[in-house]
Structure 1
């Protein structure tokens, strides 16, 4: 689907392997593709690390604790967002549900929830949390869910991990009710913090992030599926957290004050440009 034109940047995997990967630019979609792309078991191996915080509930380091604090705050914001949609049956699918906190929050607030999580460790943690709420199974793959349609489908920082992008979007569309709502949150490589840190920007996260999106890319990709972006919202905390990791990758030190400054400037500039570090796209199934 994507025709690569040139190398935009070369980045390093700072989490697992320290291998280098190219980011190839596509001008038609204004997006980047990680190259080479690992597949199958090789791709799965890049997630096997205690440093991959979204698959654990770790609170060991300062960055771990900060992540968990921000996660707690954003869970409330996410719930308020989906509660703002007027749906009759409140059936929700969370793809890439991680350790299950968002699913649990939704379940406790009247939603009928289904989760998908391919990582076994995260899946096990999610099932443990949800077992007290009559949800004993988290699916490993979308194909395991049979004949169910959803009012709302959420992909919180998931789409950038998907190997077969166009096929995946078709599956998601087929599982969404007519006029259903799809929520997609992804990093934005056109943000100030991305442009500032360049190859050290933590949200490139190669090779786990296979795709790197702009607003144009998301709008064009979903337009091809006859779906429409109806609203774009900022994730303002991401600039601070990503800058903190990026400082560590760039200098070997956390540099809290510098990271906070870059994150603050990124959000300040985004007030005008709307290019926040991460963006939430509200997408309707036409």
Structure 2
């Protein structure tokens, strides 16, 4: 079943206009519409599969965030990058927590590599993950039970120092309700970290409908820094930092070239040029990186 949103999830206005038609190149080959709110300029996939129907669009052995055994060159590149980024993520959350370990919730933890790294570094960790295969994999890797996202509402209020969503919020059907529950679980003064693709990056502008980070219909929302700030402000959160995820420009460009027709697709040098150009553009244009990590803080 599909569902049609009549209001913008960020500002609630109803003037929604078609922005782009994008094909699902990963699983279904179906084409989906991205609309843009004329009031706040937020972009989102509309109509979209409902929560009960979206599962089949994730049914791919190549979907590496749900399957540690996924093969192929692109997935091997992803795994190498993950090895280095896990350490950086753990170092970052420790720094944001005043240089000490604390309690961490990773919402949409996938196969649990980040959680396992944080636990090894001394954090008390909790993970929530909707995908059955990934959840089982994470349970084994982390060495403790990983629950379904429905458990979020049962967590004690104010119990986490850090809550992370690494490329997860764009997948969540109940966007505002989930944010409310996450904030409830966060300690006063705690940090909420949200990493998402940036629809205003140079690689998004360059690849347009071939931009792999649209990833319809799995990505329900397509954030810009302005729309993310407005969404978090609606929930009483202040964005304290906006950090670059510079490797994403190369990874997304590599995927995007595969989406192009054979006569237009480029090789490794094209990918390197696209990634480098995107990051250079971002450095000169207020941090408009391919993906951005937002660090928001709950008021004391």
Aligned length: 282
Alpha-carbon offset, residue 41 of structure 1: 3.1
Which of 120, 123, 135 is equivalent to 1:108? 120
Which ranges in structure 1 are unaligned for 5 or more consecutive residues?
A: none
2:130–2:149 CA contact under 8 A, matched in 1? yes
Per the alignment, residue 34 of structure 2 pairs with 23
| In the alignment, structure 1 residue 147 sits paired with structure 2 residue 153 | no
| In the alignment, structure 1 residue 122 sits paired with structure 2 residue 134 | yes
| In the alignment, structure 1 residue 284 sits paired with structure 2 residue 297 | yes
Alpha-carbon offset, residue 89 of structure 1: 6.5
| In the alignment, structure 1 residue 40 sits paired with structure 2 residue 51 | yes
Per the alignment, residue 238 of structure 1 pairs with 248
Per the alignment, residue 179 of structure 1 pairs with 189
Which ranges in structure 2 are unaligned for 5 or more consecutive residues?
A: 1-6, 9-13
Normalised by the size of structure 2, how large is the TM-score?
A: 0.90
Q: After TM superposition, which residue ranges in structure 1, 4 or more long, deviate above 6 angstroms?
A: none
Task: Determine the C-alpha separation between the residues in 1 that align with 2:240 and 2:41.
Answer: 19
Task: Determine the C-alpha separation between the residues in 2 that align with 1:163 and 1:128.
Answer: 27
1:100–1:125 CA contact under 8 A, matched in 2? yes
What's the CA shift string for 1:67-94, capped at 9, x where partnerless? 0011111111111110102357601000
Task: Determine the C-alpha separation between the residues in 2 that align with 1:197 and 1:9.
Answer: 12
What's the CA shift string for 1:217-249, capped at 9, x where partnerless? 111111111110011000000000000000000
Alpha-carbon offset, residue 40 of structure 1: 2.8
Per the alignment, residue 225 of structure 1 pairs with 235
The verdict on how the C-alpha distance between 1:168 and 1:265 changes in structure 2, with shifts beyond 3 A counting, is same
2:97–2:161 CA contact under 8 A, matched in 1? no
Per the alignment, residue 138 of structure 1 pairs with 146
Alpha-carbon offset, residue 29 of structure 1: 3.1
2:128–2:147 CA contact under 8 A, matched in 1? yes
2:126 is paired with a residue of what secondary structure?
A: strand
1:22 is paired with a residue of what secondary structure?
A: strand
Task: Determine the C-alpha separation between the residues in 2 that align with 1:117 and 1:261.
Answer: 35
